[in-house]
């Protein structure tokens, strides 16, 4: 398939037991996969996979819930590695998890209480790095879309990038599009209750839409409750085709071309 999964995490511990098989299967079936860092260690892991697999690429960054893992010097060094195509995932996240919530990935264990000041400082440093290296940005956001809009408005015209796994409202999507950003959708676009996200996806201009899996998270129907994989991005493409009244070939060509333009792959 000439599909590109623009956001996955095959370096996460969810794949430790069978990573070689997963990598072989997904690299064979897809044109490209971008593995995205969420902290220093997983950014290093994404770079390592990109070096090992010809059609794998890496994004490096520190997720807003990991200010305690911030290391500007190391991140700057990683940004210069071969096949690093973006800075991210970075952004703002004010979602508060229940204390006893058990999360599968080491990158998301023990989320701290959101501290907007720390997140904002780290966000701007990483935006500056992206501008200096002429790299696009993969933005993460949860329960903080208006706050993120306020923070990145000053960079309009100087940054390029994508709102990863968008779950905001139509007005917020318009604001990000006005900034020149792409909007990306993942497997949750197939979930029964997500009519709002589907309506937004339907109205995102074809030239500004991307698809992803966010694997190992958010597997599309009928794989909910199981570990996600990049190959399931085809189901996201199928849903986009349905919403936009396109053929699967047209939806694939549009999203793949958009990914190649943004990430220069």
- Domain extents in the chain: 4-263
Domain 4-263 has CATH 3.40.440.10: no
Q: Are 102 and 115 in contact (CB under 8 A)?
A: no
Q: Are 228 and 214 in contact (CB under 8 A)?
A: yes
pLDDT at 97: 62
pLDDT at 96: 76
124 is in an annotated binding site: no
∠ Cα 180 182 183 (to 5°)? 130
What gap in Å lies between CA 68 and CA 91, rounded to an integer? 15
66 is in an annotated binding site: no
The pTM of the full predicted model, rounded to 2 decimals, is 0.94
pLDDT at 186: 98
Closest CA to 30 of 233, 218, 246, 254: 233
**What values do phi and psi take at 248, rounded to 5?**
-65, -35
63 is in an annotated binding site: no
Stretches in the chain below the pLDDT threshold 50: 99-108
Contacts of 77 (CB under 8 A, 6+ apart): none
Q: Are 84 and 47 in contact (CB under 8 A)?
A: yes
Number of H helices, E strands in the chain: 9, 8
Closest CA to 166 of 135, 192, 187: 187
Q: Please, where are the H alpha helices in 136-247?
A: 145-152, 170-178, 195-203, 233-244
What gap in Å lies between CA 185 and CA 150, rounded to an integer? 22
């Amino acid at each position: 398939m000439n599909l590109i999964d623009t956001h996955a995490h095959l370096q996460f511990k969810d794949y430790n037991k069978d990573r070689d098989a997963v990598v072989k299967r997904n690299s064979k079936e897809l044109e490209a996969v971008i593995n995205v860092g969420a902290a220093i260690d997983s950014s290093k892991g994404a770079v390592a996979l990109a070096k090992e697999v010809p059609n794998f690429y890496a994004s490096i960054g520190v997720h807003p819930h990991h200010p305690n893992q911030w290391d500007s010097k190391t991140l700057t060094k990683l940004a210069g590695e071969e096949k690093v195509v973006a800075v991210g995932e970075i952004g703002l996240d004010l979602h508060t998890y229940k204390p006893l919530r058990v999360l599968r990935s080491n990158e998301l264990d023990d989320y701290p209480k959101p501290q907007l000041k720390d997140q904002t400082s780290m966000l701007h440093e990483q935006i500056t790095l992206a501008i200096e290296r002429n790299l696009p940005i993969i933005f993460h956001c949860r329960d903080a879309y208006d706050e993120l809009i306020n923070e990145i408005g000053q960079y309009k015209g100087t940054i390029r990038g994508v709102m990863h796994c968008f779950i905001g409202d139509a007005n917020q999507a318009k604001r990000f599009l006005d900034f020149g950003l792409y909007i990306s959708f993942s497997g949750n676009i197939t979930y029964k209750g997500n009519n709002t996200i589907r309506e937004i996806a339907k109205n995102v201009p074809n030239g500004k839409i991307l698809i992803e899996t966010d694997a190992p998270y958010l597997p599309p129907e009928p794989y909910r409750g199981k570990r996600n994989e990049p190959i399931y991005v085809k189901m996201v493409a199928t849903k986009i085709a349905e919403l936009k009244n396109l053929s699967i070939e047209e939806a694939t060509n549009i999203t793949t071309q958009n990914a190649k333009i943004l990430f220069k792959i």
